[in-house]
Structure 1
């Protein structure tokens, strides 16, 4: 007996306020022939459901010298590409594929039309390949990839990928007299100039780093290795335990003891 839900049932189950269960609609879409009259109607339904996602991403990029209306149209183009290119058989969620695809489309617009500060050609070339690489890796991994994974996918140095990502901020300059928040632009909100000279809250992070740096250097090799794997490589305690040949409980004790010692020394100094 075939217990596979019908297309109609899949569509009913996939309706809702989120994108959590939208993949059954893509399975249904892929099963339809190209000339099936139901195909265009289903594609339109998918696009309509995901339009709020394009709007949300467009707002994230507003305030960089481009009008929100233009960004919204570009984000919608990215959404169309995501709907047409998503492969539900790969196991990834649509959201994990659509977000980097749409963001990549918006970033390509800034790359092609809004460079205002001179950026080396090499970084521009790498930056132009990051978007497609992120889309491919997101589909493969089921999540947004890390910079190191993008570098490996492109076959370039991690430092170059990092510099290319930073270079995206050189798309377009903004007046320091303009409102710093686009939502406050019409209401005469504070400008960037108003915030110049104020204390940067990130200075505290720098102070903390300078205080802890010599303490980290003085740690035994094993403690330094465990900290690096946990907080720089984002490894779980189980993964660390397998790597250094001990139990997960021992890793937990090493972390707790080392962090407590660092905290006490930093506060005392």
Structure 2
């Protein structure tokens, strides 16, 4: 029996043999190629410790892409399976990228710097201290240039797209407003593209339709990045009340007059948007930063 990719796929499609074992063989026989595809699409490096978790996530997405490819592959067209599968792997990886809002091409050192920045900001806020950029810069020891680079990368990460809250009525995970960094920064960051500017204006209009308590909770949670515990303390209520107000606010946005229009920003064209974002971000890296991706 032949064991090339096309033969394995045909066996899966016709129900011959154990489907799971055949999929695993298709995966293991082509793992080197798959990892090269992931690196090409995302810049992540297999075996590079800081990229390990992100790369494992991308391998899972690639496997999903391969399963989709098996379902749609037509051997009568004479196309090699992995030539065909590349599209579905790319679609799955970019869809995940778009949903999660990750900036996969940001180097590992910058991701660590962002984590340090956010961690110090949260610690200052929990203590009731002003979490200014300058204060955080001093406490974590950033140069002026490093601070500017960190803020730029952070704002890119925070300019995320609408996600499951417009689709999942009972979900309490994810975000609706995380694509906007903060009230102070939205006028600057949200105008980077027509898409972001339109989404920003639409979200502002949707927020104005909410009752004041719900609007305040969303602003505090997603624009100002306060924890639920901090918001509950400021509003003199329980964390359960904050959760209830948050859930109610999302429900109003979904079913309100802006819900249908907001839903058009969902990632049905995720792969094209994500690919464009990756390309734009890659162009902005310095030569030194690009070398880290090789």
Query: Taking structure 2 as the reference length, what is the TM-score of the superposition?
Result: 0.35
Q: Which has the higher contact order (CA 8 A, sep 6+)?
A: 2
Bigger Rg, structure 1 or 2: 1
